Chain A
Amino acid sequence: MTDASDTDPGYALAPDGSFTAPLTLAYPYSRTVGPTYGRFLTGLAEGRFVATVGSDGRVFVPPAEFDPTTGQALDQWVDIAAEGTVESWSWQPEPSDAQPLDHPFAWVLVRLDGADTALLHVCDVPDPGAMETGMRVRARFVDGADPGMGALECFEPIGDDAGNDGGDRS
Chain B
Amino acid sequence: MRDIAVVATAHSAVTSTTETPVESLVPVLNEVLANAGLQRSDVGFWCHGSCDYMIGQPFSFVQAVDALGAWPPIVESHVEMDGAWAMYEAWMKIATGECDTAVVFGNGKSSSADMFAVMALQLDPYTDAPLGLDQVSMAGLQARAALDAGVISERGMAEVAARSRRNAMTNPHALVSGEVSVDELLAAPRLHDPLRMHDLPTPGDGVSALVLAAGDVARSISDRPAWIRAIDHRIDAQRLGGRNLATVASATEAARRCGVGDGRIDVAEIHAPFTHEELLLTAALGIDPSVTEINPSGGALVSNVLMAAGLARVAHAAERVMHGTADRVLAHATQGPCLQQNLVCVMEGE
Contact = CB atoms under 8 A, between A and B. Distances in A.
Interface in A119-170: 119-122, 128, 131, 133, 148-150, 169-170
A157 to B, nearest CB: 16
A92 B137 contact: yes
Contacts of B62: none
Contact of A29 (B124, B125, B144): B125
**Top 9 closest A-B pairs, CB basis?**
A90-B140, A118-B241, A98-B132, A18-B18, A91-B193, A99-B132, A88-B145, A128-B193, A88-B144
B186 interface: yes
A117 B195 contact: no
Given A118-B240, A120-B131, A149-B130, A169 B153 contact: yes
Chain A's interface: helix, strand, loop or mixed, by majority? mixed
Nearest to A15: B18
Given A31-B125, A120-B241, A150-B130, A96 B148 contact: no
Contacts of B128: 120
A16 B242 CA distance: 48
Nearest to B131: A100
12 contacts: A31-B125, A40-B127, A41-B126, A62-B126, A88-B144, A90-B137, A91-B194, A107-B141, A122-B131, A133-B148, A148-B126, A169-B147
Contacts of A96: 117, 132, 134
Q: How large is the interface on A (under 10, 10 to 19, 20 to 34, 35 or more residues)?
A: 35 or more
A133 B124 CA distance: 24
B143 interface: yes
A133 B144 contact: yes
Contacts of A67: none
Interface in A30-44: 31, 33, 37, 40-41
A107 B193 CA distance: 10
Contacts of B333: none
Contacts of B58: 25
Given A25-B56, A169-B154, A91 B140 contact: yes
B140 A33 contact: no
A23 to B, nearest CB: 6
A106 B141 CA distance: 10
